[in-house]
Amino acid sequence: LRVRLVSEADEHLFFDAIVAAALAITGAGSGSIHLLNPETSELVLLAMRNADGDSQPAGADPRPAHSTPLVTRSGRTIGMLSTYWPQDRRLSERELRFLDLLARQAAETIERRRTDDALRESERRLSAELADTRLLQALGSQLIKEQDSMTLYETIVDAATSIMHSEYASLQMLHPE
């Protein structure tokens, strides 16, 4: 499962695999995984399935449950992994240990994915800013060299369109006369 958690690119299959493993460990009838939305502090259902592998609708109403928090190495709770039974059941110490291990591995993998996604987004933004800076540098060089004002104006408009990620731009000049 650890190899699958690290290599699974499809996020839905990733979360479904975590729930499937929890069902296998506990023999539960169904299970779910919820992640905490950091902006709203609400739990968001990501996957819910029953023991025969079918996904369950979010409105399913299982009865007795056991929830294991998903806690990162830094101690931050990011969600919970829950298992459900049709009747009351107490988990063995072995099941609890394995469920806790699964939850820790899932939390670490989720946190690493989030960190990797944030890093890729940061790199993308920095790359775009670098391209904009190079464009401005080239524009500055052209301003120094350019003798033809129309070509210069077109270059300024093109640079503004590129930097602002807009479809159109215009440059207007005031002629006092």
Is pLDDT at 139 greater than 70 in this prediction? yes
Give per-residue pLDDT as tens, 54-108. Answer: 555 444 555 688 899 999 989 999 999 999 988 888 889 999 999 999 999 889 8
Q: Which residues contact 16 (CB under 8 A, 6 or more apart)?
A: 47, 49, 55
Measuring CA to CA, which residue among 75, 73, 5, 3 is closest to residue 33? 5
Locate 62 and state its tokens: 């299982």
Higher pLDDT, 6 or 102: 102
- Judged by average pLDDT, the poorest of 3-7, 9-13, 32-36, 84-88 is 3-7
Quickly count: other Cβ atoms within 10 Å of residue 35's Cβ: 20
- Cβ atoms 58, 70 nearer than 8 A: no
Average pLDDT value for residue range 5-13: 73
Average pLDDT over all residues of the chain: 83
Q: What is the reported pLDDT for 94?
A: 92
Locate 143 and state its tokens: 């301003």
Q: What is the reported pLDDT for 70?
A: 94
Phi-psi category of 165—alpha, beta or left, where left has phi over 0 and alpha has psi -120 to 50? left
Q: What is the reported pLDDT for 82?
A: 92
Calpha distance 80→70 (Å, rounded):
5
**β-strand partners of 55:** 49
Total-model pTM: 0.63
